[in-house]
Amino acid sequence: MHLYVELWKARPAWLALAETERVAWVTALGPMMSDLVRAGVELVGFAVTDADAPYDADYPYMSIWRMPSRELVHQFESAVEATGWHGYFEQVNVRGELLPPTQVLEHMARAAAP
């Protein structure tokens, strides 16, 4: 199982669109998202981020996904890319295999210095 976290904010190209164009574009994402869900991608949730969070990343939007395989992770990334999303939004992602906390902490403890 893999976790995928997206953080994004609008680029000037998105802000330049009329509201009706934005609504139409977002609505057009529906079938792609439905296809991914049918393939096994699970949306954990979307959020508008808290700007007052400690060490805020300065991205007002986030989503969290769970995916059963690395292959589906790559399918998800390709589908997002195909929408033209990155022309409208500056985005950062993190992804990784879901692990027990003890395994992650052990990895941290053994990590080599940069």
pLDDT digits (tens, 9 = 90+) for 63-82: 999 999 999 999 999 999 99
Boundaries of domain holding 29: 2-110
- Mean predicted confidence (pLDDT) in 22-49: 93
Query: How many domains is the chain built from?
Result: 1
SS3 content of the chain, % helix, strand, coil (to 5): 45, 30, 25
- Mean predicted confidence (pLDDT) in 105-109: 90
What's the Cα-to-Cα distance from 33 to each of 1, 41, 65, 83, rounded to whole Å? 19, 9, 12, 11
pTM of the model: 0.87
Report whether 62 contacts 49 (CB < 8 A): yes
Q: Rounded to an integer, what distance in angstroms lies between the CA atom of residue 22 and that of residue 28? A: 10
Provide the 10 A C-beta neighbour count for residue 53. 8
Tell me, what CATH number does 89's domain have? 3.30.70.1030
Q: Rounded to an integer, what distance in angstroms lies between the CA atom of residue 62 and that of residue 56? A: 12
Q: Rounded to an integer, what distance in angstroms lies between the CA atom of residue 62 and that of residue 89? A: 12
pLDDT at 108 over 90: no
